[in-house]
Structure formats: structure tokens, C-alpha cells
DNA sequence: TCCTATGTTGTATG
DNA sequence: ACATACAACATAGG
């Protein structure tokens, strides 16, 4: 389920454990989510460490302790974080459990497209330091978006919005929501947008990120019916602004939903 | 049974 | 080297 705001919601699920010591680490070693990590290193580094802070950037989460080392969690398609009572049983999709005196901090991921990362050392690892500026930061500029859209000029804008190297945290539903608000057809070539359309796109990226974080990031509520969000999967779903039937089709390899009344495809040359 | 799924990556092709 | 397209990953739920 996780895009920008869902990741932020799940990151906070471990907040009750910040400041407390991890006295035992339980892993499900054959789980695919550990495919790039040394499990012995991870266990050695986390056992008896005090969890101190967490951050997220795009879809990536980072947890730190009072020791050196960088624990990363990516939720993939079906991952989530929870805290549970100390005596809770461990389920088959529970891949990483940090046991503390008063709770367990659990990473769950049935489909295992997610990932646990662990890097030692003082310097931030590339998987963390290379994440581009957040959409809500001052460095997410119209100029940066324009340059990126030019370089990816032949790809459909829907596919380009999903590229984490420029739009960190944007996923399938956010991309559709942004394009719907910006009144841009998902199949429009990224290089064919006018400067005015790019400014609108940039503004709607920020708007959707800000309000998704406000609504979903705190309580996991669904956005209201004035958004495309609650209509995009329902059969016979209608555009909340025009009332027309929404269209659903594969674009750039992902199911894409748009309003044919608002988002029209200009003939390219 | 068959279809779908809020993501990333490796590989092939141009 | 760079951009693009798509299969593959693994499981659950309708």
C-alpha cells in the first residue's frame, strides 16, 4: 500500500520504541526481504542498541540507534510496520522483530517485495544519501522537473512521475491523482508538455504530497470524495469534478485511471 | 480457476 | 552510455 504518506504513517508505528533498548532481534532468515543484507551483521549491530530516531525520504525509511549503523526498511508493495505487546506470536509474514522490554517492533510483508537494508559505518550509505530532494523541499524546483521531463521526453508522463530519482515517494495512485488535478493525460509524452503544464504539474505534485501526508500520514484515513483517490478502483467510478465515467487502462506497465473529460491527449505533430 | 494488486530491478532492445 | 519497455519477483484476496 505504501507511497509517500503511507510510508510516513508506518514509520511512526515504531515511535513508541524510540529511546528504548532492543534486547533481542528476531529475523526470518530465508525471507527475500533480506536479499542484500548480512543478517549476522544486522543482529550484532542492533542487539542491545538503543533505538534513537527514524526518518523517511520518499518510500525509504531509516532507523538509527546509539551505535553506528544504518537500518533501512522499504515497504515494497505490501509491507507494513507495527508495534505489538511483548508476548505477541510471530506470524509467517513477520520478517524482522525488534524486541524491547515493553513491546515488539515488527516489519511485516506477505509479498516480500520490500527490503531490509543494513549498512555499518559513520558515513550514510548510498541507498540513503542518493535519494533526491523531497517534493516538499525548496530544492524540488520547476527547473529540475523541466530538465527531467526533457531527458525522459519520449516516455509517457505517467511513467516518468513514477521515477523515484526525481519524484521520491510518488507511486501509482499519487501519479494518477497529480495528473488528474493537473488535467494532463497520462499518455502525454513527458517532453511534449508546455511550460505552463509543467508549472501546474509541479504545483499539483506539491499539493498532493502535502495533503496526502496530512490526511493519510497521521491516521491512515482515505482522502475525501473530492479526490480521484476513492473513485479510481471502483467499477463505474466517476470523475468527482465532471461526473463522467473514469477510464482505466495500462500506461507504462501500471493500471492507470483518468478522467477523459479533464485529461485529453493533444495530437503530437 | 482466473484476475488483480499503492514497487523495484534485471535484462533486452533501440 | 543512455533511454525505454517489460518480465520477474511471491502472496493474498475477490
Residue A266: the pLDDT is: 77
Q: Contact, A68 vs A82, CB < 8 A?
A: no
For every one of its 269 residues, what pLDDT tens digit does chain A have, with 9 covering 90 and above? 799 999 999 999 999 999 999 999 999 999 999 998 999 999 999 999 999 999 999 999 999 999 999 999 999 999 999 999 999 999 999 999 999 999 999 999 999 999 999 999 999 999 999 999 999 999 999 999 999 999 999 999 999 999 999 999 999 999 999 999 999 999 999 999 999 999 999 999 999 999 999 999 999 999 999 999 999 988 889 999 999 999 999 999 999 999 999 999 976 53
pLDDT for res A61:
98
pLDDT of residue A1: 73
R_g over Cα of chain A? 20
Beta bridge partners, A50, equal: A21
A108 touches strand C (CB under 7 A): no
Active site residues of A: 2-3, 59, 254
The answer to whether the beta carbon of residue A36 comes closer than 7 angstroms to any atom of strand B is no
Instruction: Please tell me the predicted confidence (pLDDT) of residue A269.
Output: 39
> Which residues 80-99 on A are within 7 A of strand C at the CB atom?
92-93
Instruction: Find the Å distance, CA of residue A56 to C1' of nucleotide C1.
Output: 32
Output the pLDDT for position A267.
61
Report the pLDDT value the prediction gives residue A177, as an integer from 0 to 100: 98
Q: Report the C-alpha gap between A55 and A59 in whole angstroms.
A: 11
For residues A148 and A102, what is the distance between their CA atoms, to the nearest angstrom? 47
Distance of CA A86 to the CA centre of its chain: 29
Q: Are A189 and A265 in contact (CB under 8 A)?
A: no
DSSP A203-258: HHHHHHHHHHHHHHHHH-PPPPTTSSGGGSSSTT-B-TTT-PBPEEEEETTEEEEE
Amino acid at each position: 500500500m505504501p507511497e509517500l504518506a503511507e510510508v510516513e504513517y508506518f514509520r511512526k508505528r515504531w515511535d513508541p520504541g524510540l529511546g528504548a533498548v532492543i534486547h533481542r532481534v528476531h529475523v526470518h532468515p530465508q525471507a527475500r526481504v533480506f536479499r542484500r543484507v548480512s543478517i549476522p551483521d544486522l543482529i550484532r549491530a542492533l542487539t542491545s542498541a538503543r533505538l534513537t530516531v527514524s526518518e523517511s525520504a520518499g518510500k525509504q525509511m531509516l532507523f538509527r540507534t546509539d551505535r553506528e549503523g544504518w537500518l533501512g526498511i522499504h515497504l515494497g508493495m505490501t509491507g507494513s510496520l507495527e508495534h505489538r505487546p511483548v508476548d505477541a506470536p510471530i506470524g509467517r509474514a513477520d520478517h524482522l522483530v525488534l524486541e524491547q522490554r515493553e513491546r515488539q517492533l515488527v516489519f511485516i510483508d506477505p509479498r516480500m517485495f520490500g527490503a531490509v537494508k543494513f549498512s555499518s559505518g559513520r558515513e550514510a550509505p548510498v541507498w540513503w544519501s542518493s535519494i533526491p530532494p523531497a517534493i516538499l523541499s525548496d530544492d524540488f524546483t520547476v527547473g529540475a522537473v523541466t530538465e527531467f521531463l526533457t531527458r525522459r521526453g519520449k516516455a509517457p508522463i505517467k511513467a516518468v512521475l513514477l521515477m523515484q530519482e526525481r519524484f521520491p515517494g510518488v507511486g501509482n495512485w499519487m501519479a494518477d491523482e497529480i495528473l488528474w488535478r493537473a488535467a494532463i493525460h497520462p499518455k502525454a509524452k513527458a517532453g511534449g508538455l508546455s511550460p505552463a503544464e509543467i508549472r501546474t504539474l509541479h504545483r499539483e505534485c506539491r499539493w498532493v504530497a502535502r495533503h496526502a501526508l496530512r490526511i493519510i500520514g497521521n491516521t491512515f484515513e482515505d482522502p475525501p470524495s473530492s479526490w480521484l483517490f476513492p473513485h479510481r478502483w471502483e467499477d463505474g467510478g466517476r470523475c468527482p469534478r465532471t461526473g463522467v465515467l473514469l477510464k482505466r487502462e495500462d500506461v507504462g506497465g501500471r493500471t492507470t485511471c483518468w478522467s477523459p473529460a479533464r485529461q485529453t491527449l493533444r495530437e503530437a505533430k
